[in-house]
Structure 1
């Protein structure tokens, strides 16, 4: 009996891929052109991917040595185009592929983001997604009038109110508010459009939104919180959780925890999709794939990898002995990445310098091998309850996505693990997610103790 069908998303920067992906001989050099992203979009849709997912940060990293010099020298997280512009481009040449952009609740306003995402959801026919982040670098804060990031609890408190406001704005029009009757001259039902009159700790927003309710109700909400606060937030608000794990065991523990949290908040656990990162290296066989990975590893300078890790953790690693072990750190940044590094470094007894080289070329999920090898591993993770699908991370673009689409996708389809054509028109439909009814925000907001059936209106 085949395993349940999996979901696939593609993790792709709006700029160079990864730490040294730009150095790969097969990497494209045209990431500053529209055609680069249009080509990737076509490749992903032809392979029936659920969505393209674009991460983002609002600063050039300064975490290593307090300077942006290492990041610029190695190209680690320096060039990041506006993700909304990029995913809008990608949606213009596709009809089924979902497109998701990362936008920070720390340095955006709910009204502007509600309008941008609502607009894209309409123009794409219901294929927009928003990856909610609270920002994780002091360098980002310093571009927006702050000396350093607020602490984690403060950032999540703002995010909580942000989500309430933005979903209320999307709900400020009923689904049937538009009439557009040219004969009578009536454009809409005024009694089906509401101001939200929100006055809170962080935001004061009157509304209503100037964009009718999105086709998906709410664009798909993606989140990647790994701390206890982040997990609670994601289990209430998110439709998709992006995560990163160094072992199958930690992935199973995380997935089970998130499903339990969702159920405790009154949600159907199957309405929360868990997509761990999977960096795939496809070869004719395992030996061929390992040769490709080793050639990629040889491109990584330890300082480039440490620049990336320092950026993720928001901790200056040059303060420590690079030939000594990684000390216990108070991580302001991405806690999930830090835990993954600790797990691997302790198991392999790595120094900080060695961690840098590993982190710069890491292949999450241990998915190196032939198409059959990779499909075996994916099937194992799905059967173990570690995932609902995977966030495919390419070592270099577009070639690594092309390799996956050409070799791994047909193998998954042959096994009955992946679709051969899209089931629906919207991103929610293809992910198997219910469309939120108007007023769903009340059931996801912090403190809610009961949830009505999916699709119930306010």
Structure 2
């Protein structure tokens, strides 16, 4: 029997996604302020039997590139405009029946009760399809939006995140599954003996429970995480049930998954309790030449300057201080470059900043798979069988066309070969993914 492939659709509630060309692309219909835009995307993914659609998010427009936001706004950087994904997902819960709905919330700039209430509510109104994409945020611009001079240091962010997740789980679990009674005859709403009025006192948070939302249909919403640093991997190994990764080469996919599994075993977790999904950006044509043309036309719309701006924003470091013809390894050796950034640059190919900016603008390093539906399906199957991942996060180059083409051409091949469901067999996201039950 073939392995079952997990599939997620990746979105931002803004004009671009990993591709900075999305809003400019002639095949992109409508735009990010139109609710019908999101409804069409979600319905397309559900027609393709995807496990979930999740929205990444960022909270502020970065000014790391040249200490200015002007070019970000002018050219349309990744964080130049963004809607809060929660109302969008609430809308989609009413227009879909099966697909999971993932919400990003930051552990650095929210409080645990905010997150616990929002995602528990989404789980109820979607009848058990919610997920929390856990992030710690990434730069000083986000800190200043919330009244702080600087972003928390990397390891401190994750220490706070550990306690944050621990507290959210306490809040979600404060109602036992049968605590809600709803006995109209006796006039009994809930059984107080089955509701835990706990007190939490920790390093970062003090909280007196319980949550005022009953136990959710899934028991516990699915936890998603995407940190690739050493501390991020440690965090994901402890908490995540889905890990989203970007790796440009299969060797790195294998190393990443093996490392996560090793860390999970070391703390007593079963690796089967976490699905590792690697990102891909497909370009599908009737012939390979047609697919390559589609890819090249897309990439030509992605301004390399935007890639450098996004790189600066994501790194909390101004890369515009270096000429575009500076090689990445020379930037890594420069005295102004922080060690954590230098380490990442040493893992990249020995190319110039301008060349890297073009890659970042086109895909944020997400592998671009250009070929026929058969060849793209085979590549996905090969990586899955090799053990490089448990499935894929499909990132769009234009909308909804990337998802439509994938659903209409690649999905039927995966179904015929036994790698993808032909019907939704479970009512919850946790069931789609084969994760353990919490009820």
TM-score (norm 2): 0.95
Does the 8 Å CA contact 2:98/2:424 hold for their aligned counterparts? yes
1:264 corresponds, among 257, 260, 266, to 266
Residues 1:330 and 2:334 aligned together: no
Q: By how many angstroms is 1:158 displaced?
A: 0.9
Single out whichever of 403-412 and 359-368 deviates more from structure 2: 359-368
Q: Deviations over 1:209-237 (max 9, x none)?
A: 00011111211000011111111111111
Q: By how many angstroms is 1:165 displaced?
A: 0.7
Q: By how many angstroms is 1:344 displaced?
A: 4.2
In 2, the alpha carbon distance for the partners of 1:102 and 1:418 equals 26
The aligned runs of 1:74-89 (5 Å cut-off) are 74-77=75-78, 78-89=80-91
In 2, the alpha carbon distance for the partners of 1:401 and 1:358 equals 21
Runs of 5+ unmatched residues, structure 2: none
Q: Deviations over 1:249-306 (max 9, x none)?
A: 0000101111121122211111110001111111112111110111111112221111
In 1, the alpha carbon distance for the partners of 2:100 and 2:177 equals 21
In 2, the alpha carbon distance for the partners of 1:366 and 1:72 equals 26
Does the 8 Å CA contact 1:151/1:332 hold for their aligned counterparts? no
2:188 corresponds, among 186, 189, 199, to 186
Runs of 5+ unmatched residues, structure 1: 438-458
Residues 1:288 and 2:290 aligned together: yes
Residues 1:23 and 2:62 aligned together: no
| SS of equivalent residue, structure 1 residue 361 | helix
The aligned runs of 1:300-449 (5 Å cut-off) are 300-326=302-328, 327-328=331-332, 329-330=337-338, 339=344, 342-346=346-350, 350-362=351-363, 364-436=366-438
| SS of equivalent residue, structure 2 residue 248 | coil
Q: Who is 2:13 aligned against?
A: 14
Does the 8 Å CA contact 2:23/2:31 hold for their aligned counterparts? no
Residues 1:221 and 2:229 aligned together: no
Does the 8 Å CA contact 1:375/1:411 hold for their aligned counterparts? yes
Q: By how many angstroms is 1:342 displaced?
A: 4.9
Q: By how many angstroms is 1:33 displaced?
A: 1.4
| SS of equivalent residue, structure 2 residue 145 | coil
In 2, the alpha carbon distance for the partners of 1:289 and 1:242 equals 26
Does the 8 Å CA contact 1:26/1:396 hold for their aligned counterparts? yes
Q: Deviations over 1:378-400 (max 9, x none)?
A: 11111111100000000111111
In 2, the alpha carbon distance for the partners of 1:277 and 1:172 equals 35
In 2, the alpha carbon distance for the partners of 1:365 and 1:120 equals 32
2:247 corresponds, among 239, 245, 248, to 245
Does the 8 Å CA contact 2:121/2:213 hold for their aligned counterparts? yes
In 2, the alpha carbon distance for the partners of 1:364 and 1:107 equals 27
| SS of equivalent residue, structure 1 residue 10 | strand
Single out whichever of 61-70 and 152-161 deviates more from structure 2: 61-70
Q: Structure 1 residues 342 and 83, CA, compared in 2 at 3 Å: closer, same or farther? A: farther
Q: Who is 2:124 aligned against?
A: 122
Q: Who is 2:40 aligned against?
A: 39
The aligned runs of 1:270-281 (5 Å cut-off) are 270-281=272-283
Q: By how many angstroms is 1:376 displaced?
A: 1.1
Does the 8 Å CA contact 2:21/2:299 hold for their aligned counterparts? no
Dislocated runs of 4+, deviation >4 Å: none
| SS of equivalent residue, structure 1 residue 12 | strand
Q: By how many angstroms is 1:42 displaced?
A: 0.8
In 2, the alpha carbon distance for the partners of 1:305 and 1:235 equals 30
Q: By how many angstroms is 1:352 displaced?
A: 0.4
Does the 8 Å CA contact 1:47/1:405 hold for their aligned counterparts? yes
| SS of equivalent residue, structure 2 residue 407 | helix
In 2, the alpha carbon distance for the partners of 1:76 and 1:285 equals 32
Does the 8 Å CA contact 1:286/1:370 hold for their aligned counterparts? yes
| SS of equivalent residue, structure 1 residue 377 | helix
Does the 8 Å CA contact 1:20/1:74 hold for their aligned counterparts? no
Q: Deviations over 1:395-454 (max 9, x none)?
A: 1111111111111111111211111111201000000001236xxxxxxxxxxxxxxxxx
Q: Structure 1 residues 331 and 411, CA, compared in 2 at 3 Å: closer, same or farther? A: farther
Q: By how many angstroms is 1:365 displaced?
A: 3.1
In 2, the alpha carbon distance for the partners of 1:121 and 1:331 equals 41
RMSD of aligned alpha carbons:
1.6
TM-score (norm 1): 0.91
In 2, the alpha carbon distance for the partners of 1:89 and 1:15 equals 16
Q: By how many angstroms is 1:364 displaced?
A: 2.4
In 2, the alpha carbon distance for the partners of 1:323 and 1:269 equals 43
In 2, the alpha carbon distance for the partners of 1:99 and 1:5 equals 20
Q: By how many angstroms is 1:83 displaced?
A: 0.9
